[in-house]
Structure 1
C-alpha cells in the first residue's frame, strides 16, 4: 500500500481528516455559512467530507473542491450521488496552487491542508484571490500548545503557538471572527481512531501481504504520538474575514 491508501484506510472511521468531532464541524460550518446559499470552495478537499456536510445541511449551497487524489475525488463523487447532492458539487483534479476559478467564492475552506499551498500564509494569500467581497475563510492549522521538542518539530512541522498564529494572520490582513481549538478529547480521539483502525485492519487480515507493514506503521505512529507530540501539539480552526476588502 502507498501512503495515500494507508491514509484513506486510517480515516475510515474519522472522515474529517483533522482532530474535530462532528459537533465542532457542524458548528464551524453553521458560523461560516450565515446566509445558507453561499458558493464554497475547498482547497485540498480530499474526499470532500467538509463540502458534503455543507451541502447536506444547507440545501442552497453550491460547492467546488480541488485535490490531486483522483481516488479521493472518485469516492467523493460516489458519496455525493448517494446523498443526492451531485448537482451542487463540482470537483477538480488538479493542484490547489494551479486552480483558477471562473467566479469568486463566499467561503473558502482549507482545514488540515495548508501544506498543499505552502503553509498558512501562502494559503491565505491564495484564498484572497478567490474570495468574494465580504467572504470568509475557514482554515485549520496545527499549533504548539507547549514548547515542542526538536523531534516533534522535525516530525510535524514548524508551527507556532496560538497567539503567534493569530498575530501572523492579522498582520497579513485578516480578522478572526470565530474559532475553535481542538479539545484533548478531540485530539486523542483522532489519533486513537487513525492508528487503531490501521491496527484492526492488519489483525483482521493476517494473510494479506501488506498486513505486517500496516501493523508496523500503526505501531510506530501511535508511539510517535504518545512519546513525541501528544503533550505539545494542538489544532486551531479559524473563521477569517479580510480586514479590508
Structure 2
C-alpha cells in the first residue's frame, strides 16, 4: 500500500494533518489580519484544509496550494467545490520548491512540510522568497524537542541529533532566516493526542474494513506508528506554529 494512500486514509478524520485543533487553526489565521483581496500560498498543502479555512475567513482572498499528493489535491478540489470556493483556489501538482508566481503573497504557509524542502532552513528561504516584502506574513509549523531525546529515540524516530531544536532554538532558527515573530501557537498535549489517536484509529478502522493485502499493510502501519508515538516521542516531541513577518530586505 503506497505511503501517500496510507497518509490520505489516516488523515480522514483529522484533515488538518498537524497536531492543531480547528479552533487553534482559525485563531492563527484570524491573527494574520490579512488585507482585502489577499493572496495566499500553501507550500505542501495536502488536502488544503488550511487554505479552505483561510478562504472562509477572508471571503475576497485567493489562494494557491502546492503539493505532490494526487489524492490530497483531489480531496482539496472536491472540498473546495462543496464549499463553493473553487473559483478562488488554484491547485498545483509540482514540488513545493519549484513553485513560481508572478506576484508575491500576503500570507505563505508551510506547516509540517519542511521535509519537502530538505529541512527548516531551506523551507524558510523558500517561504521568504514568496512573501510580500515588508507587509506580508508567513505561517510556519515545525516540530521541536520538548525534552532532550535519547540516542535510542533519535534512532527510532529517524532523526539526526541537530534536526530539531528546543522551542527557543526553533524560534531562533526561524528569525535567523530574516523574520520577526509576531504570534505563535505551541500545540498542547491534548492536540497531539487528538491528532495521533485520529491518525492511528482511522487507519485501523479502514484496515479492518478492507481485509486483504492493503488492509494488512494499513494495520501494520497504524500499529507501528502508534508504538513509536506511545513508546517513543509522546511528551518529547512538540510542535509550534509561528506567524512571521519578514524583516526589511
1:170 aligns with 2:170: no
Q: What CA deviation, in whole Å up to 9, does each residue of 1:210-230 have, x standing for no partner?
A: 222221211111111011111
Provide the C-alpha distance between the structure 1 equivalents of 2:24 and 2:153, rounded to a whole number of angstroms: 26
The change in CA–CA distance for 1:216 and 1:70 in structure 2 (over 3 A counts) is closer
Larger CA deviation: 189-198 vs 27-36 = 27-36
Which residue does the alignment assign to 1:116? Answer: 116
Given that residues 19 and 195 in structure 2 are in contact (C-alpha distance below 8 angstroms), is that contact kept between their aligned partners in structure 1?
yes
Provide the C-alpha distance between the structure 2 equivalents of 1:165 and 1:220, rounded to a whole number of angstroms: 28
1:217 aligns with 2:221: yes
Provide the C-alpha distance between the structure 2 equivalents of 1:182 and 1:24, rounded to a whole number of angstroms: 9
| 3-state secondary structure, aligned to 1:46 | coil
Per the TM alignment, residue 48 of structure 1 is displaced from its structure 2 partner at its CA by 1.0
Instruction: Spell out structure 1 runs of 4+ moving beyond 3 A.
Output: none
Q: Please, which runs of 5 or more residues in structure 2 have no aligned partner?
A: none
Question: With structure 2 as the length reference, what TM-score do the two structures score?
Answer: 0.94
Which residue does the alignment assign to 2:141? Answer: 140
Provide the C-alpha distance between the structure 1 equivalents of 2:196 and 2:117, rounded to a whole number of angstroms: 24
Given that residues 39 and 106 in structure 1 are in contact (C-alpha distance below 8 angstroms), is that contact kept between their aligned partners in structure 2?
yes
Query: What is the root-mean-square deviation in Å for CA atoms of aligned residues?
Result: 1.3
1:127 aligns with 2:127: yes
1:150 aligns with 2:151: yes
Given that residues 34 and 106 in structure 2 are in contact (C-alpha distance below 8 angstroms), is that contact kept between their aligned partners in structure 1?
no
| 3-state secondary structure, aligned to 1:237 | strand
Which residue does the alignment assign to 2:50? Answer: 50
Q: Please, which runs of 5 or more residues in structure 1 have no aligned partner?
A: none
Larger CA deviation: 218-227 vs 33-42 = 33-42
Given that residues 5 and 71 in structure 2 are in contact (C-alpha distance below 8 angstroms), is that contact kept between their aligned partners in structure 1?
no
Which among 202, 207, 225 is matched to residue 202 of structure 1?
A: 207
Per the TM alignment, residue 156 of structure 1 is displaced from its structure 2 partner at its CA by 5.1
Larger CA deviation: 19-28 vs 92-101 = 92-101
Given that residues 144 and 161 in structure 1 are in contact (C-alpha distance below 8 angstroms), is that contact kept between their aligned partners in structure 2?
yes
Provide the C-alpha distance between the structure 2 equivalents of 1:60 and 1:28, rounded to a whole number of angstroms: 18
Q: What CA deviation, in whole Å up to 9, does each residue of 1:112-159 have, x standing for no partner?
A: 001111211111111121111210000000000001122332315321
Which residue does the alignment assign to 1:187? Answer: 192
Given that residues 67 and 73 in structure 2 are in contact (C-alpha distance below 8 angstroms), is that contact kept between their aligned partners in structure 1?
yes
Per the TM alignment, residue 79 of structure 1 is displaced from its structure 2 partner at its CA by 1.1
Question: With structure 1 as the length reference, what TM-score do the two structures score?
Answer: 0.95
Q: How many residues align?
A: 244
